[in-house]
A and B are shown apart, each in its own frame.
Chain A
Amino acid sequence: MAATLEKARVSKEGEFVVIDAKGMHYPELNVLIEDVINQGAKKLKLINVNGQRFIADGLRGDYYIEIHGVAGDDLGAFANGPTIVVYGNVQDGAGNTMNAGKIIVHGDGTDIIGHSMRGGKVFVRGHVGYRVGIHMKEYKDQVPVLVIGGTAGDFLGEYMAGGRIIILGLQRLETYPEIVGDWLATGIHGGAIYLRDEVDEDKLGYGAKFEELTEEDLAFLRREIEEFCSYFGGDVDEIMNAKFTKVVPLSHRPFAAMYSDSKEAGH
Chain B
Amino acid sequence: MVRNFPPDFIVRVDKEACINCLRCVRECPFGVHEYDKEKKKWKRHHEKCVACLRCAYMCPTQAISIEKHPMEYSPHPVWTNKVRKDIKTQAETGSVILTAMGNELPYLNYFDRLVLDACQVTNPSIDPLREPMELRTYIGRKPEKVDLEEDNGVDLKTKIAPNLKLETPIMFAHMSYGSISIEAQLSMARAAKEVGTYMGTGEGGMHVDLYPYADHIITQVASGRFAVHEEYLKRGAAIEIKIGQGAKPGIGGHLPGTKVTAEISQTRMIPEGSDAISPAPHHDIYSIEDLSRLIYALKEATRYKKPVFVKIAAVHNVAPIAVGIIRAGADAVVLDGFRGGTGAAPQVHRDHHGIPIEVAIASVDQRLREEGIRHWGSIIASGGIRSSADVAKAIALGADAVYIGTAALVALGCTVCKKCYTGKCPWGIATQVPELRKRLNPDEGARRAANLLKAWSHELKEILGALGLNSIESLRGNRDRLRGVGLSDVDLEVLGVKPAGR
Q: Is the CB of B98 within 8 A of A259?
A: yes
The answer to whether A77 and B301 touch across the interface, beta carbons within 8 angstroms, is: yes
Interface segment out of the listed A51-59, A62-70, A222-230: A51-59
Report the Cα distance A161→B97, complex, angstroms: 26
How distant is the Cα of A59 from the Cα of B301 in the complex, in angstroms? Answer: 7
Contact with A along B17-49 (1 / 0, CB 8 A): 000000000000010000000000000000110
User: A243: CB under 8 A from chain B?
Assistant: no
Chain A residues positioned under 8 Å from B274 (CB to CB)? 161-162, 189-190, 252-253
Chain B residues within 8 Å of A89, by CB: none
Residues of chain A within 8 A (CB-CB) of B277 are: 159, 161, 187, 189, 254-255
Q: Are A253 and B275 in contact (CB under 8 A)?
A: yes
Closest chain A residue to B8 by CB distance?
A262
Q: Please tell me if B411 contacts chain A, counting CB pairs below 8 Å.
A: no
- Nearest A residue to B6 via CB reads A267
List the B residue with the shortest CB-CB distance to A73: B293
Contact with A along B293-328 (1 / 0, CB 8 A): 100111011110000000000000000000000000
Which of A74, A138, A162 is most buried by chain B, counting CB atoms within 10 A of its CB?
A: A74
Given A252-B257, A267-B5, A115:B271 Cβ within 8 A? no
A99 in the interface, Cβ–Cβ < 8 Å? yes
How far is B419's CA from A99's CA once the two chains are assembled, in angstroms? 35
Contact B233 A259 (CB under 8 A): no
A50 CB–B CB distance under 8 Å: no
B: interface residue count bin: 35 or more
Give the interface SS of chain A, mostly helix, strand, loop or mixed. loop
Q: Mark B224-267, 1 if CB is under 8 A from A, else 0.
A: 11001111011000000000000000000010110000000100
The verdict on A96 contacting B284 (CB below 8 Å), with A78-B229, A118-B269, A260-B97 known, is: yes
CB distance from A199 to the nearest CB of B (A): 22
One of A93, A99, A161, A263 near B48 (C-beta < 8 A): A263
Are B228 and A78 interface neighbours, CB within 8 A? Answer: yes
**For A79, what are the chain B residues with a Cβ–Cβ distance below 8 Å?**
230
Find out whether the CB atom of B230 lies under 8 angstroms from the CB atom of A60. yes
Contact between chains at A58 and B3 (CB < 8 Å):
no
Confirm or deny: B438 has a beta carbon within 8 angstroms of a beta carbon on chain A. no
Interface locus among A129-137, A172-180, A212-220, A232-240: A129-137
Q: Is B71 an interface residue (CB 8 A)?
A: no
B68: interface (CB < 8 Å):
no
User: Do the beta carbons of B270 and A139 come within 8 Å of each other?
Assistant: yes
**A57 nearest CB across to chain B (Å):** 4
A148 at the interface (CB under 8 A from B): no
Task: Find A135's partner among B8, B275, B279 (CB 8 Å cutoff).
Answer: B279
Smallest beta-carbon distance B96→chain A, Å? 5
Distance of A106 from chain B, by nearest CB (Å)? 23
Partner of A115, one of B234, B269, B283: B283
A26 proximity list for chain B (CB < 8 A): 300
Would you call A258 an interface residue if the criterion is a C-beta within 8 Å of the partner chain's C-beta atoms? yes
A266 at the interface (CB under 8 A from B): yes
Among the listed B98, B228, B265, B300, which residue makes an inter-chain contact with A97, where contact means beta carbons less than 8 Å apart?
B228
Known interface pairs A78-B301, A253-B256, A267-B47; A260-B270 also in contact (CB < 8 Å): no
User: Is A267 in contact with B89, judged by CB distance below 8 angstroms?
Assistant: yes
Does the CB pair B47–A263 fall under 8 Å?
Answer: yes
- Chain B residues near A92 (CB-CB < 8 A): 284, 293
23 A–B contacts, CB within 8 A, in A order: A34-B303, A58-B233, A58-B234, A58-B302, A78-B298, A80-B229, A99-B229, A118-B225, A135-B224, A137-B270, A139-B269, A159-B279, A162-B274, A253-B257, A255-B256, A256-B257, A256-B275, A259-B95, A260-B96, A262-B97, A263-B419, A264-B93, A267-B85
Interface residues of A (CB under 8 A from B): 26-27, 30, 34, 53-54, 57-60, 73-74, 77-80, 92-93, 96-97, 99, 112, 115-116, 118, 131, 134-135, 137-140, 142, 155, 158-159, 161-162, 187, 189-190, 252-267
